[in-house]
Amino acid sequence: MASANIVEITDSNFDQEVVKSSLPVLVDFWAVWCAPCRAIAPHVEALAGEYVGKIRVGKCDIDSNPQIPSQFEVRSIPTLLVFKGGQVVGQLVGAVPRAKIEDLIKKAL
């Protein structure tokens, strides 16, 4: 996670960073050992920069933060969830093309 436009989502800050956010939030559930997660990371980072002020982007390391992925039944990674008003409004699973991630974001705006 090497971007100023991406916030680290943890079990302890999820409520503040996601549920209480005035903007829609894209959360990338990932792990260091996950090759497909690394494959989509540049797309997620680029889109975080392109949609500054319109959507927040966060990454949640499932190994360090097991509660939130469990709460949202994340069974496979990468999983991208979009939250709006604290509720899940969209989901993608797997190493999907950048266009699919962008479509997910646009639907939440």
What are the structural domain ranges in the chain? 6-108
How far apart, in whole angstroms, are the C-alpha atoms of residue 92 and residue 77?
Answer: 10
> Amino acid identity, residue 15?
D
| Omega cis (within 30) before 78 | yes
Question: Which DSSP symbol is given to 94?
Answer: S
Residue 2 has a pLDDT of: 53
Q: Whole-model pTM?
A: 0.95
How far apart, in whole angstroms, are the C-alpha atoms of residue 16 and residue 6?
Answer: 15
Q: Do residues 6 and 60 touch, judged by C-beta distance below 8 A? A: no
Instruction: Please identify every residue annotated as catalytic.
Output: 34, 37
pLDDT in tens, 44-101: 999 999 999 999 999 999 999 999 999 999 999 999 999 999 999 999 999 999 999 9
The structure tokens listed for 100 are 């699919």
For domain 6-108, which CATH number applies: 2.70.50.30, 3.30.420.40, 3.40.50.300, 3.40.30.10?
3.40.30.10
The three-state secondary structure class of 80 is strand
Name the one residue in this structure whose structure tokens are 């950048």.
98
